[in-house]
Every structure is written in structure tokens, then in C-alpha cells.
Homo-oligomer: A and B are copies of this chain.
């Protein structure tokens, strides 16, 4: 079933946060599928946007630097796109607790205004929102399906939940078509690895290939499910091309739940470099941690035929290979990061 891939040929699509990790991988895939791609990205220092992510495909797409908080700009940019992949966001949980105002402005307020922009200037668009499993908070049971209560544990989680709800409300009330993908831990090439504030996996991969020591919090028995970025991209493509998922929030989780320590051992064996040791939880991270998590992704399988296809080992192999080749572009000043921790 490749109809959903054919769907994008010649089609104008927009990607907010398109210079970031998932957004840039999605943009590259859409270029392969011959879509007309407009990337909108604010290139905010310390966030995931990195021009290197699309440099080699740049003639085949357009990059428009703009901040999604700038309402008048977004009112203009949304026009004419058949699908809007809405991935722009502040993604650091820790930063959301230190600077809740910025997190609210980007993850909540700007999302609402983007939907208003579509409602008034592009009501026929399909919007696919990058949601997160973080909104579930501490799971009451595993695996976690979409029937699990939403109970965010930090400000970022609250704002991401609100951002998702706005999309579903605009789908139901204003007949804008919208879908939210609740992503678990996505990993792969083009992820920010400059600092550790946007999730652990990219940071661990960097430490491994630099032959440094990985610190595993607690006893490392916490379970996560990881999704390789190509699989996440495939979920966005399927959602963008289908009306079967309009108004739905769908889990996008990994096939192989794994404890942190087992993941680190697998990573080190794939990389052949690096080491690890266990340390106590830092108090600020412990306060917003959610324990073990893995998702039940049967709803998206039934609705869109999506399932993860890349094994964890294969994904780690490709990711390690990518950063071995391109690491300077992700740790130097141009990489959009601030100071390394």
C-alpha cells in the first residue's frame, strides 16, 4: 500500500520546525516523494533547528526562517498548502519549568494562532501535529493506549496537551482536518546532540561515539520504547494523506520496549566505544520523571496501517554511522545549540 506516498507527488506541503530533527527527516523524505516542500523554522538558539539537516537537498525545497509566535507571518505562510506538518515546539521539559512563559507561548499560544490562521486563510488544509506521550504522565499501567488519562507532570506536558486539544477542537468544530501523533522517544540522524536538555537518547549516542562515559540515572531499569525517525516520518506521511484519522490522537510507539541500561549496553556494543555507570537521580529531573513507559500503538496500526519497521539495533547502527560522519555539524556553534552541559 503505497498510495499515501504517491499522494505527495507535486503537492504543496509545509513543515513547521522543518529544520529540526523529525521535521528535517520528514522534509527530506517529502523531497524524495517530489512534494513541494516549504520549511518554516525559527532557528531559535538551543532548539533543534539546524540548516545542515537539509543543506544537501536545499535546491529541492524552500526554507523560510520565521517564528511560529509571529501571528501575521503565519497567517501568510499557511496559505495554499494541502498538508501542514506542525512540528515546531519547545521540547525541553526542564526548560519548561525554568521558563514556563516561553513554553506556553510556543507550545500553546502559537499553536492556537496557527490553527486560527488555517481556519481563516486555509480551511481546507490537513494539519498533522507532533504530539507526545509525555502528556500521559506517570502511566497507571503498561502498555499505554490512547484510553489512558492525560495527566502531564510538567509545564511542557500541559502545553503540549493543550496544543493537541486545540487541533482536535478545530477539527471537530471548524472542520479543519487535524490529527495528533503522540510520539514516544524518537531517535536517529539529525537529532540535536549539542546538549542533554532535549531527551537522553541523542546525548547518549554522542557520548558513545566520543568514547565518553554515559551516566545512567538510578538503577537503569526504567523502560522506554524508542521509534527510529524514519518510522516516525512514515507515521506523519500516512496521517497527512488520510482522512481516516481526522480528529484522532494516535500513539506512535516502538516495537521493542527496553530498559535504559539494556539500551545503553546495546548502544555501546553497536558503537564499539563509550562506557557507562549508574548515578543517583538529579532532583530536578526526578521531580518530573514518569517511571517506565511504553505505548500501545495498535490504534494507528488499525487506522493507518502504520507499524515500526526498523529494529532498535539497525536504527542505532544507522544513527551512530551518521554522527560518526557528521558530528561537527551538530556540536559546533552553527548547530544552533547553546553551551554544552
What are 27 A-B interface contacts by the 8 Å CB criterion? A97-B173, A100-B116, A101-B112, A101-B113, A108-B109, A108-B162, A109-B109, A112-B155, A150-B165, A151-B165, A152-B165, A152-B169, A153-B172, A154-B169, A154-B173, A155-B166, A158-B162, A158-B165, A158-B166, A158-B169, A159-B162, A161-B161, A161-B162, A161-B165, A162-B162, A173-B287, A173-B288
Could you tell me which A residues sit within 8 Å of B by CB distance?
Answer: 97, 100-101, 104, 108-109, 112-113, 116, 147, 149-155, 157-159, 161-162, 165-166, 168-169, 172-173, 287-288
Docked-complex contact B151 and A149, CB < 8 angstroms = no
A108 (CB) vs chain B CBs: closest residue? B108
> Distance (Å) between the CB of A198 and the closest chain B CB?
19
By a CB distance below 8 angstroms, the chain B residues around A173 are: 97, 153-154, 287-288
Distance, CA A108 to CA B97, complexed state (A) = 16
By a CB distance below 8 angstroms, the chain B residues around A100 are: 112, 116
**Max count, chain B CB within 10 A of own CB: residue among A108, A112, A169:** A169
Docked-complex contact B108 and A104, CB < 8 angstroms = yes
Distance, CA A156 to CA B60, complexed state (A) = 41
Distance, CA A287 to CA B169, complexed state (A) = 10
> Distance (Å) between the CB of A95 and the closest chain B CB?
14
> Distance (Å) between the CB of A167 and the closest chain B CB?
10
> Distance (Å) between the CB of A206 and the closest chain B CB?
28
Distance, CA A242 to CA B289, complexed state (A) = 27
> Distance (Å) between the CB of A103 and the closest chain B CB?
9
Distance, CA A126 to CA B25, complexed state (A) = 46
> Distance (Å) between the CB of A168 and the closest chain B CB?
7
By a CB distance below 8 angstroms, the chain B residues around A172 are: 153, 287
**Max count, chain B CB within 10 A of own CB: residue among A101, A104, A149:** A104
By a CB distance below 8 angstroms, the chain B residues around A154 are: 169, 173
